[in-house]
Amino acid sequence: MNILVTGGAGFIGSNLVHFLLERAENETGVSLGKVVNVDLLTYAGNRSSLRDLESGDRHVFVQADILDEDKMLELLREHSIDSIMHLAAESHVDRSIDGPEAFIQTNFVGSFRLLQAARTYWSELDEEKKETFRFLHVSTDEVYGTLHENDPAFSETTPYAPNSPYSASKAGSDFLVRAYHHTYGMPVVTTNCSNNYGPFQFPEKLIPLMIQKIIRGEKLPVYGDGSNIRDWLYVEDHARGLFCALTKGRLGETYNIGGKCEMKNIDVVHTLLNTLKEKGYDHATPDLITYVKDRPGHDWRYAIDCSKIETELGWQPVETFETGMAKTVQWYLDNTEWIEEIESGEYRGERLGQA
């Protein structure tokens, strides 16, 4: 199976590419060929996250834009792609509030262009190849909106109610994928995941941001009173779930992938403080926490019911929050150069703040 991964230099994408090339065959028995990794390398795309794969002939990196329909079709044909795993997206809610247009272009229009290329390519395949071709669309639990304390967790039948430009753009792409299945018969599967954490996460996100600030003894900005709740999923568990949905999922279906671990943001911060204090950072105390003005439209609670993928496809998370967090903190402590490259702008061949 030759797989094209979009957004494979981002956080979840780079972890997925590592999983596909290093563990998927042994864990699943599915024979893999090459992984064609397409990424535009915007601010959150980082080729250094793939450095250990560069020497292998099974990883093909292409800097390209999913908005370029002709280029996407060219790559599908050139590499005889059997499946697409579509992760490329703008994903930071704060950035979508400040500048929503990039989110509409990449997440909605970009998904449309990729679907168009995939449909053209799929229509050219012989019947056997057409039967086994798959388009996996990777989305988010944020499309479901927000939950109150006693509400049941999001399921695949929860009505969409996006509350930010980011989640609205992802909801739109989900509907496009659904339409292409029902209108054209495209062999698609969609996944909606909860909050990911783990290695290679861009340091504007909660967990890597707090880790770096704790290490430096800086103030830890927490939105509102820190009571917002998220369901935390270790990124490698997510990668396993994506491959499971790709290879076993029923066509046209949606599968929610969650960590079964609801935590208040403030409790996540306290966990990080305690973990780093145990590692010798004596200044890692609650005194570092500072509460800041809540962001507009801040969803209060997310929770994922992932019983469908567990029951139908046999996937479940391997890591608990405790084991996943221990691995995550240690990875950031062991990979300070990766953080320094991002903060300096070196990973993009530039200094931050310069053209």
Q: Are 7 and 89 in contact (CB under 8 A)?
A: yes
- Whether 78 is a known active-site residue: answer no
d(CA 246, CA 115): 16
Domain 3-201+232-260+297-320 listed as CATH 3.40.50.300: no
Q: In the numeric block, which tokens belong to residue 143?
A: 């499309």
DSSP 63: E
Question: What residues does 36 pair with on adjacent strands?
Answer: 4, 60
- Look at residues 295, 141, 318 and name the one whose alpha carbon lies nearest to residue 228: 295
DSSP per position, 179-201? HHHHHH---EEEEEE-EEESTT-
Q: What is the pLDDT of residues 191-215, one digit of tens each?
A: 999 999 999 998 888 999 999 999 9
69, 90, 141, 231: which is the annotated catalytic residue?
Answer: 141
- Whether 121 is a known active-site residue: answer no
- Look at residues 118, 260, 128, 129 and name the one whose alpha carbon lies nearest to residue 189: 118
Q: Could you give the angle at the alpha carbon of 50 between the alpha carbons of 261 and 116, nearest 5°? A: 80
121, 166, 255, 347: which is the annotated catalytic residue?
Answer: 166
For residue 254, give the 3-state DSSP assignment.
strand
Q: What is the pLDDT of residues 228-247, one digit of tens each?
A: 999 999 999 999 999 999 99
Tokens 């002939």 appear where? 57
227 Cβ partners below 8 Å, 6+ apart?
A: 264, 265, 266, 300
Per-domain residue ranges of the chain: 3-201+232-260+297-320
39, 69, 142, 305: which is the annotated catalytic residue?
Answer: 142
Q: In the numeric block, which tokens belong to residue 101?
A: 């247009």
Positive or negative, the Cα torsion across 209, 206, 272, 45? negative
Letter string b/e over residues 190-212, b meaning 16 or more CB atoms within 10 A of that residue's CB: bbbbbbbbbbbbbbebbbbbbbe
Per-residue pLDDT of the chain (355 residues; tens, 9 = 90+): 999 999 999 999 999 999 999 999 999 999 999 999 999 998 878 899 999 998 889 999 999 999 999 999 999 999 999 999 999 999 888 889 999 999 999 999 999 999 999 999 999 999 999 999 999 999 999 999 999 989 999 999 999 999 999 999 999 999 999 999 999 999 999 999 999 999 999 888 899 999 999 999 999 999 999 999 999 999 999 999 999 999 999 999 999 999 999 999 999 999 999 999 999 999 999 999 999 999 888 889 999 999 999 999 999 999 999 999 999 999 999 999 898 888 877 766 543 332 2
- Look at residues 54, 44, 62, 69 and name the one whose alpha carbon lies nearest to residue 18: 54
pTM for this structure?
0.93
β 134-140/83-86 pair status: parallel
Name the E strands within 123-219.
134-140, 188-193, 195-197
d(CA 220, CA 272): 11
Question: What residues does 234 pair with on adjacent strands?
Answer: 197
d(CA 230, CA 304): 9
- Whether 166 is a known active-site residue: answer yes
For residue 49, give the 3-state DSSP assignment.
helix
| Distance (Å) of CA 233 to CA 151, 239, 319, 335 | 20, 10, 8, 21
